[in-house]
Each structure stands twice: as C-alpha cells, then as structure tokens.
Amino acid sequence: MSTPTILHAAPAAGFDEPFEMLTACHGRVDRMLALLQRLATHLQGGHADEPARQAARDVMRYFDLAAPHHQQDEERHIFVLLARSGDSGLMQLAARLQADHVQMVAAWATVRPVLQALSQGHWPAHQASVVFADWQAFDRQYREHAALEDSQAYPAARALSGSQAQAAMGREMAQRRGVVL
C-alpha cells in the first residue's frame, strides 16, 4: 500500500476565493476517503504494517484538523446565508446540512478509535467486517453531503452574497487558521 506523497496539498484556490476554496477542500476530503478505502482493502490481509499505520495517521490528521475548520466555514458562512434567505427550500437545506454535520462528527467518533489503535499497530481483525461497514457508512455520508453542498448550497450561498461579503468570508476563514493575509 502506498500513501500519497502530498497529504494535504494546498487548495487550488486561496482565501480570496472562499467558494472555490471550499470546493477544493471537498477534493481533499475525497482523497482522504479514498485513502481510507484503500486502507480497508489493504487490511483484508489482516496486517497492521507500517504503510497501514501511516495511512491511519494521515486520515486522522485530516479529519481531526482540516475537516473541523471546513465544517466551521460552512456553518458560519454558508448555512447562515441559506437559513436567513427567507426561501423555505434553502432554509430546509441549511437545516439538513447542519444535521449532517452533527451526524458526521458522531460517525468520526466511531471511526477514529479504530484508526488510532491501528496507527499504533493494533488491528482488530476479528471485528473487520463491522469496522469496514462503519468506514463505508462514513465515506458515503461525507460524499453525499459534499455533493449536496457543491450542487446546491454553494451556488445558492454565492448568489446570496456579494463580493464584499465573500472577501470578509475569506478573511475570517484565514484568520481562524492563523493565516495572515
């Protein structure tokens, strides 16, 4: 099993293009989910070797550090716009996406302990089918959520915000990450 050379490549867009940056983050989520699925395939041999341990650390690093920032970006900037739009469809979309975030955090709390143990060389091979089912559910949940944001939430939020609001959004996103613009 090989792990990616660049685990968290810089997004294709910067903070001056916050919607493009959010979309690029979904690309990184996709790569981490693909790594998780490759890890599952690798572990079918039952070995917690160094490549497996490193892949577990890489997935944990992304979902422990980058994913929470991304969710905060959406909750503070995207969901708020949709919820305040006055459009019942967009308000329902915001509520659903917010509920997804709660479920995704709970799903991560199920996935992470196994990855933590694996990162230290402990693989519960006797529970592999349950673990792999949890990983598949986590993958499916993230992918469906991101697709809904990309296809509906981001375009609607972009239409509801002007260039000044988008610039402020980008500055706030950078500030929370400690990036000086």
pLDDT score, position 7: 43
Q: How many helices (H) and strands (E) does the chain have?
A: 8, 0
pLDDT score, position 56: 98
pLDDT score, position 14: 86
Q: Which amino acid is at 51?
A: P
Give yes or no for a contact between 11 and 170, defined as CB atoms under 8 angstroms apart: no
Domain assignment present for residue 4? The answer is no
Domain assignment present for residue 9? The answer is no
Structure tokens at 81: 């716009």
Domain assignment present for residue 2? The answer is no
Structure tokens at 106: 């709970």
Measured at the alpha carbon of residue 35, what is the angle toward residues 30 and 41, in degrees to the nearest 5? 130
Identify the three-state secondary structure at position 178. coil
pLDDT score, position 8: 45
Structure tokens at 6: 């660049």
How far is Cα of residue 39 from the mean position of the Cα atoms in its chain?
17
pLDDT score, position 116: 98
Domain assignment present for residue 3? The answer is no
Domain assignment present for residue 36? The answer is yes
Domain assignment present for residue 6? The answer is no
Domain assignment present for residue 12? The answer is no
pLDDT score, position 2: 47
Handedness of CA 100, 106, 109, 115 (dihedral sign): negative
Identify the three-state secondary structure at position 85. coil
pLDDT score, position 10: 45
Number of domains in the chain: 1
Tell me which residue range forms the domain holding 162. 18-174
Domain assignment present for residue 62? The answer is yes
pLDDT score, position 100: 98
pLDDT score, position 3: 43
pLDDT score, position 46: 74
- Total Cβ atoms within 10 A of residue 122: 11
CATH assignment at residue 139: 1.20.120.520
pLDDT score, position 12: 57
pLDDT truncated to tens, each residue of the chain (181 aa)? Answer: 544 433 444 445 789 999 999 999 999 999 999 999 999 999 998 778 999 999 999 999 999 999 999 999 999 999 999 999 999 999 999 999 999 999 999 999 999 999 999 999 999 999 999 999 999 999 999 999 999 999 999 999 999 999 999 999 999 999 988 888 7
